[in-house]
Structure 1
């Protein structure tokens, strides 16, 4: 199985399991800066040197060796499922990607046709009914995750626990699981304990939101997008994420309700 989704500093001080839509651009830049004392010029997802990634052939042996030997501080980052699925909708379904096109070619036209999703149009200032369109997208996301129809679930809306589990099942063990909602505090602790060469204050760094400015702004509070049916669907899809990572059921109160139990996460996701 290996370690899909793992990024590691060349110094092997930090081992990070990427979870899409959970601050991965910011965290990737932190990893790069930790070794080199500068930010990667561009989207960190495009970096092919200066940072080990499981998807790069030359990085696999160093990652496997470091994990087997327990080198480096291993961590990941999670997010409230309500915020994450809403972020995936605005970025991947409504947003224009950095190549100037819609995400995944015919995906958006297909869900427009089959589910009535309206992604908005940059030519008209993305003027559309965001709430109705998101709720239709949520039905599509549920179908991909629960029924693998009309396609396999995309990494941007497949479950957080599914991403986090691959590192555990490959033989790794997390030292920390951070929360996007309190990212700066979590990153400060990680950088301190890993004793990186070039620490940085997460509160005093550029913003690396690669999807910003390429799609519509969210027009309503998060809770407005989730009526009773949408709330039920989110819990149907992401029930394990809510339970494992301590998030509550109310979309209007999305703060974590308890600390993450690392041991329980390893037991549950290692099965």
Structure 2
């Protein structure tokens, strides 16, 4: 199976396991900059050179050899499951993608038809009942993850622990897992632990939020989107994420972690 979703600098200074919707655009650009002294012109997910990616055939032997021998510092980044699934909804379901179209072609019409959600249109300022639609989307997300219908789960809303685990199961080991909510502190720890060809000054790095501005703005506080049933669905989907990455399940308004991530626990529980 190898190491899907894994990126590595060309200098092999650092290895990163991408977790979608967890600052991956910014992290990828920092890695690119640390080798080349400039940011990639465009969305880093589109880069086909300047950064090793498992999706590039020529990168696979290099990533495989590095990870299997733990030759470089390896890390990943996680996010509160409540804000992550909300972000996925507004970006991937309601937003217009960078190619000017809806995400995954017939996906949005499918869930409009089967689950009765609304997503609005750019022409009407994306006017729709966000809370009602989001809760219906959550049912859809649960169905894809639990029963793989009406389609396979999408990487943007499948559990973070699933992404994180493939790296471990196939022979990798993380040196650091940090939270998007304390991004600067976590990313600085990574940079302090590695030697890069180009120095990165984190406070001068822009945020690369590639999904921003393509869809509706969230108009309610996070907690308003989650009633008792929604919280039950979130627990069904993301229970392991809350426990391993130390987020507060009981209070959707608290996006901050409530404990320290135990790397040994993560490796033990996700390494099966």
Q: TM-score range by the shorter chain?
A: over 0.9
How many Å apart are 1:83 and its aligned residue?
0.5
For the residues of structure 1 that align with 2:196 and 2:155, how far apart are their CA atoms? 30
Tell me, what secondary structure is at the counterpart of 2:202?
Answer: coil
Structure 1 residue 197 displacement after superposition: 2.0
Partner of 1:109: 109
**Over residues 96-147 of structure 1, what are the superposed CA-to-partner deviations in whole Å (9 max), with x where a residue is unaligned?**
0011000000000010010011111001000111111100000000000011
In 1, are the aligned partners of 2:181 and 2:255 still within 8 Å (CA)? no
Encode CA deviations 1:46-105: one digit per residue, 9 max, x unaligned: 001110000000000110111122111100000000000000000000000011000000
| Residue of structure 2 equivalent to 1:188 | 188
Q: Which residue of 1 aligns with 2:13?
A: 13
Matches within 5 A, 1:196-207: 196-207=196-207
User: What is the distance in 1 between the residues matched to 2:67 and 2:140?
Assistant: 36
TM-score for both structures, normalised by structure 2: 0.98
Q: SS of the residue aligned with 1:203?
A: helix
Deviation at 1:178, TM superposition (A): 1.1
Q: Residue 171 of structure 1 aligns to a residue in which SS?
A: coil
In the superposition, the TM-score normalised over structure 1's length comes to 0.99
Deviation, structure 1 residue 201: 2.7
- Structure 1 position 189, deviation (Å): 1.1
- Inter-partner Cα distance in structure 2 for 1:188 and 1:254: 21
What displacement does 1:19 show? 0.3
Within 2, Cα distance between the matches of 1:231 and 1:166?
27
Per-residue CA shift, 1:143-182, capped at 9, x if unaligned?
0001111111000000000000000011000000011101
> Matches of residues 129-168 of structure 1 in structure 2 within 5 Å?
129-168=129-168
The aligned residue for residue 57 of structure 1 is 57
Q: How much is the aligned-residue C-alpha RMSD, in angstroms?
A: 0.8
CA contact (8 A) 2:16 2:74 kept: yes
2:246 corresponding residue in structure 1: 246
Q: Distance in 2 between matches of 1:191 and 1:262?
A: 19
* Equivalent pair of 1:122/1:215 in contact (CA under 8 Å): yes
CA contact (8 A) 1:21 1:87 kept: yes
1:155, 1:59 → 2: CA distance?
21
- Correspondence 1:270 to 2:268: no
Asked if 1:260 corresponds to 2:261, the answer is yes
Alignment of 1:211 onto 2:211: yes
Number of residue pairs the alignment of both structures matches: 271
SS in 2 for 1:177: strand
Does the CA contact (< 8 Å) of 2:5 and 2:55 recur in 1?
yes
| SS of residue paired to 1:259 | coil
Moved over 4 A (4+): none
Partner in structure 1 of residue 98 of structure 2: 98
Once residues 266 and 222 of structure 2 are traced to their aligned partners in structure 1, the CA distance between those partners, rounded to angstroms, is: 27
**5+ unaligned residues in a row in structure 1: which ranges?**
none
Contact 1:192 1:199 in 2 (8 A): no
